[in-house]
């Protein structure tokens, strides 16, 4: 009998339920406090997993209690939200998505895991894979944006990065794909609200990133807090056991979200903790995070015959298997053994700087950027300019609030303090406008004005939905005053937007000379922004969400299905708004560079394609600008005639090319024809013969795409 079966055989019910329980150590919020009763419970073997504890010494001490002082000596799993870095922060995930760079996604996850593992952690509650098409939802900031295919690629890269080749390695973390599933579709973008969408949308839009994470070997999955058409995900046996385990063959651990098992009572499907615990276990949830429902409820549920010992054992087995895969039985202290060397930490900061720059999307540039090195006086105005802590964005892990490089510090580091005067003008979210006058005074001496405005870090992330997506507080008043003054003085204004979502500020975008969407760039924010503004690097980020021009357009996404009455400005009875455009202000994939790129000569390697073929798609790209830059080329498809109406565009690939001025090259993108399968009328995948358009270009604006056609044919007999 192997170790795991032997342990299960020896365990009391209380010890088994301990393995199915995860308790907060409270470190993240209140400091390193493990409640005394939790310490005793670890020794008694009745708490088997912790969250929110980090620091090699503290972790070691807790692990010691479990391994050396509990009867069976089973090590603890210790999890934390290492969402976009641990102490060193990379851009928020939505920003990282904008880099469209799978290698970077994997690399930053690898570095985050290495740093967190050195701090004793074994598990990260990441990647967050919720596709989100509603900018009101604050958690959009944590995920890959609006596109399922992009989300799937990010899922693979992140799982690979966090877990590396071998989970047992001292620098590998168990990844947790979350929040399964369709959390991004909360009603009206309000966090924790109900989700009620079609089964087709669940599977076509929200499931692909999770399927990709499972295929990449993700160690664990976390169900969403939300219900799906009345069945909370924490109790959704059809999707947890039926789909995730049986259909996708996921054999890892399912860990509930924070108190989600207990919340089944408020959802109105469980009368008490006993019933809640039984519902969650029977649905497939292995670990109860923070509700203490399994320890308190499952003994009674077992007596009543609502759950079986076999199911409890199966969950315990999965938890112990994960601990074994993490190498914890062989050496529970393997993580956090060796402090990191200074060069490793310095190299990570360099990566954060590069990643920060790659995440930033240049929405607009009338030609003012990059600024000339000779710029004598750059007035930096706005409440986000000298705001190091805000640069962390939501889910800042263990990062010190003072650690990030602010925009001001980055620019002053590059240009010197005297050349970069600063006034905040207003607070991020306050009513005091007394500082506006001082900010305006800076404009007269300036060669250019950098306006740093947007949200605070706490305005996105969990429990941070917003109904108004403009600038909070009195920032608009500040920005309008600066724009006005700058126009009178004929000074250019560059706006840098900080946010966890697309902000709806068309007035600002129209009037500023250049606009950068910086999201929250992380620890090296200011240096990354300075690198772009001063032209040390060309911007290369592309928006992973369609950028709205009016609140009424939200939810907004490019992958819409055709209408029987496509919008036509000349025909009233067509699909459109009377008072706003139906097109976004910036299409998905939009992002300018310091190059000027022209695409030509789209070639497709085959005209007739069957399911197992791979098509090679090539397009020539020329840089007609005066600076070296990297262009991103997107591949979309459109199946015009199918048994189920297909979206007008579907992302299926992208490629990048870096070109010097005057240089040309070719981008090649491979398309596996089985990616053209879709869910037929019965929701089973089909490959339907017929014409498919291949569309290639710089963003999801159809008018800018080159088009070719291929014919799908049945395989040769």
Residue numbers at the binding site for ligand BGC (CB under 6 A): 51, 81, 125, 178, 257-258, 462
**Minimum CB–partner distance for residue 179 and ligand BGC (Å):** 6
Please check whether residue 513 is in contact with residue 368, taking contact to mean a CB–CB distance below 8 angstroms. Answer: yes
**Minimum CB–partner distance for residue 677 and ligand BGC (Å):** 32
Compare residues 26 and 661 and give the one whose CB is closer to ligand BGC: 26
- Residue by residue, DSSP assigns 594-658 as SS-EEEEEEEES-SEE-TT-EEEEEEEEEE-SSS-EEEEEEEEEEE-S-SSPPPS-EEEEEEEEE
Q: Rounded CA gap, 199 and 271, in Å?
A: 28
Length of the chain: 717
Compare residues 51 and 157 and give the one whose CB is closer to ligand BGC: 51
Compare residues 180 and 519 and give the one whose CB is closer to ligand BGC: 180
Cβ neighbours of 435 (radius 10 Å): 18
**Minimum CB–partner distance for residue 218 and ligand BGC (Å):** 14
**Minimum CB–partner distance for residue 257 and ligand BGC (Å):** 5
Compare residues 243 and 258 and give the one whose CB is closer to ligand BGC: 258
**Minimum CB–partner distance for residue 686 and ligand BGC (Å):** 35
Between the two ends of the chain, the Cα-to-Cα distance in Å is 50
Tell the residue number behind the tokens 């939300």, with chain if given: 226
Helix/strand number for the chain, H first, E second? 21, 26
Please check whether residue 132 is in contact with residue 184, taking contact to mean a CB–CB distance below 8 angstroms. Answer: yes
Provide the 3-class DSSP secondary structure of residue 622.
strand
Output phi, psi for 464, to 5 deg: -140, 50
Compare residues 24 and 545 and give the one whose CB is closer to ligand BGC: 24
Is beta strand 706-712 parallel, antiparallel or unpaired with respect to 49-51? unpaired
Q: Rounded CA gap, 307 and 139, in Å?
A: 34
Compare residues 227 and 513 and give the one whose CB is closer to ligand BGC: 227
**Minimum CB–partner distance for residue 155 and ligand BGC (Å):** 15
Compare residues 274 and 460 and give the one whose CB is closer to ligand BGC: 460
Token digits of residue 91: 């851009």
**Minimum CB–partner distance for residue 288 and ligand BGC (Å):** 13
Please check whether residue 17 is in contact with residue 294, taking contact to mean a CB–CB distance below 8 angstroms. Answer: yes
Cα–Cα distances in angstroms (integers) from residue 297 to residues 49, 271, 273, in the given order: 18, 12, 5
Whether residue 639 lies in the annotated active site:
no
Tell the residue number behind the tokens 């005066």, with chain if given: 626
Compare residues 252 and 383 and give the one whose CB is closer to ligand BGC: 252
Provide the 3-class DSSP secondary structure of residue 126.
coil
Cα–Cα distances in angstroms (integers) from residue 405 to residues 347, 369, 499, 527, in the given order: 16, 21, 17, 7
Is beta strand 378-381 parallel, antiparallel or unpaired with respect to 448-454? parallel
Cα–Cα distances in angstroms (integers) from residue 675 to residues 493, 637, 642, 712, in the given order: 44, 10, 15, 12
Residues 6+ apart with CB under 8 A from 688: 639, 642, 643, 678, 680, 712
**Minimum CB–partner distance for residue 595 and ligand BGC (Å):** 38
Cβ neighbours of 353 (radius 10 Å): 24
Cα–Cα–Cα angle for 196, 201, 202, nearest 5°? 70
**Minimum CB–partner distance for residue 490 and ligand BGC (Å):** 48
Task: Return the residue nearest ligand BGC (CB atom).
Answer: 125
Compare residues 77 and 380 and give the one whose CB is closer to ligand BGC: 77
**Minimum CB–partner distance for residue 178 and ligand BGC (Å):** 6
Please check whether residue 138 is in contact with residue 394, taking contact to mean a CB–CB distance below 8 angstroms. Answer: yes
Among 257, 531, 639, 701, the one annotated catalytic: 257
Nearest Cα to 599, choosing from 653, 540, 657, 545?
Answer: 657
Please check whether residue 78 is in contact with residue 86, taking contact to mean a CB–CB distance below 8 angstroms. Answer: no
Compare residues 24 and 363 and give the one whose CB is closer to ligand BGC: 24
> Is the Cα dihedral 290, 291, 296, 298 positive or negative?
negative
**Minimum CB–partner distance for residue 259 and ligand BGC (Å):** 8
Q: Rounded CA gap, 508 and 605, in Å?
A: 44
Provide the 3-class DSSP secondary structure of residue 43.
helix
Token digits of residue 357: 């720059």
Tell the residue number behind the tokens 């959802």, with chain if given: 267
Compare residues 125 and 586 and give the one whose CB is closer to ligand BGC: 125
Q: Rounded CA gap, 21 and 532, in Å?
A: 47
> Is the Cα dihedral 107, 112, 117, 118 positive or negative?
positive
Residues with a known catalytic role: 257
């Amino acid at each position: 009998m192997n170790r795991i079966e032997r342990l299960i055989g020896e365990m009391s019910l209380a010890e088994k339920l301990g393995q199915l329980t995860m308790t907060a150590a409270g470190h993240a919020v209140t400091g390193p406090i493990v409640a005394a009763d939790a310490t005793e419970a670890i020794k008694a073997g009745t708490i088997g997993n912790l969250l929110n504890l980090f620091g090699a010494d503290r972790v070691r001490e807790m692990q010691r209690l479990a391994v050396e002082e509990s009867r069976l000596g089973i090590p603890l799993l210790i999890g934390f939200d290492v969402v976009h870095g641990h102490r060193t922060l990379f851009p928020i995930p939505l920003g990282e998505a904008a880099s469209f760079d799978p290698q970077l996604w994997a690399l930053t996850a690898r570095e985050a895991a290495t740093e967190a593992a050195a701090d004793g952690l074994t598990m990260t509650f990441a990647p967050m894979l919720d596709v989100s098409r509603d900018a009101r939802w604050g958690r959009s900031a944590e995920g890959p944006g609006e596109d399922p295919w992009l989300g799937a690629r990010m899922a693979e890269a992140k799982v690979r990065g966090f877990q590396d080749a071998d989970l047992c390695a001292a620098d590998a973390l168990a990844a947790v794909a979350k929040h399964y599933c369709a959390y991004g579709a909360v009603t009206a973008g309000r966090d924790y609200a109900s989700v009620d969408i079609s089964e087709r949308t669940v599977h076509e839009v929200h499931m692909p990133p999770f399927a990709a994470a499972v295929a990449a070997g993700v160690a664990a999955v976390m169900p969403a807090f939300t219900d799906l058409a009345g069945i909370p995900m924490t109790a959704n046996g059809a999707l947890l056991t039926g789909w995730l385990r049986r259909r996708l063959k996921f054999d890892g651990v399912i860990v509930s979200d924070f108190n989600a098992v207990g919340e089944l009572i408020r959802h109105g499907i469980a009368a008490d903790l006993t019933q809640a615990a039984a519902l969650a276990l029977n649905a497939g949830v292995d670990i109860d995070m923070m509700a203490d429902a399994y320890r308190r409820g499952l003994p009674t549920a077992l007596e009543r015959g609502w759950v079986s010992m076999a199911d409890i054992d199966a969950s315990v087995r999965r938890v112990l298997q994960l601990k074994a895969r993490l190498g914890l039985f062989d050496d529970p202290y393997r993580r956090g053994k060796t402090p990191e060397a200074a060069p490793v930490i310095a190299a990570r900061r360099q990566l954060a700087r590069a990643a920060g720059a790659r995440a930033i999307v240049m929405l607009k540039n009338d030609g003012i950027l990059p600024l000339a090195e000779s710029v004598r006086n750059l007035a930096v105005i706005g409440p986000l300019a000298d705001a190091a802590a805000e640069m962390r964005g939501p889910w800042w892990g263990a990062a010190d609030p003072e650690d990030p490089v602010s925009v001001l510090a980055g620019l002053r580091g590059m240009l010197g303090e005297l050349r970069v005067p600063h006034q905040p003008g207003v607070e991020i979210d306050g009513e005091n406008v007394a500082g506006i006058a001082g900010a305006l005074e800076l404009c007269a001496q300036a060669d250019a004005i950098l306006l740093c405005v947007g949200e605070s870090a706490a305005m996105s992330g969990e429990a941070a939905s917003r109904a108004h997506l403009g600038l909070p507080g009195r920032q608009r008043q500040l920005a309008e005053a600066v724009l006005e003054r700058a126009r009178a003085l004929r000074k250019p204004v560059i706006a840098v937007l900080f946010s966890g979502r697309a902000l709806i500020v068309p007035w600002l975008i129209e009037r500023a000379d250049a606009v950068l969407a910086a999201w929250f760039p992380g620890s090296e924010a200011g240096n990354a922004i300075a690198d772009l503004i001063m032209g040390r690097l060309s911007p290369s980020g592309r928006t992973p969400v369609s950028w709205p021009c009016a609140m009424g357009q939200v939810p907004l996404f490019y992958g819409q299905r055709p209408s029987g009455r496509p919008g036509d400005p000349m025909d009233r009875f067509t699909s459109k708004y009377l008072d706003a455009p139906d097109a976004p202000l910036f299409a998905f994939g939009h992002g300018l560079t310091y190059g000027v790129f022209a695409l030509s000569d789209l070639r497709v390697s085959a005209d007739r394609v069957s399911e197992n073929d791979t098509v090679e798609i090539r397009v020539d790209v020329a840089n007609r600008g005066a600076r070296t830059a990297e262009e991103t080329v997107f591949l979309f498809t459109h199946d015009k005639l199918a048994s189920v109406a297909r979206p007008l565009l579907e992302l299926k690939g992208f490629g990048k090319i870096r070109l010097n001025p005057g240089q040309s090259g070719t981008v090649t993108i491979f398309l596996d024809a089985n990616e053209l399968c879709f869910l037929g009328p019965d929701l089973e995948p089909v490959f339907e013969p017929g014409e498919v358009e291949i569309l290639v270009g710089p963003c999801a604006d159809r008018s800018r795409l080159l088009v070719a056609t291929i014919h799908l044919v049945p395989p040769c007999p």
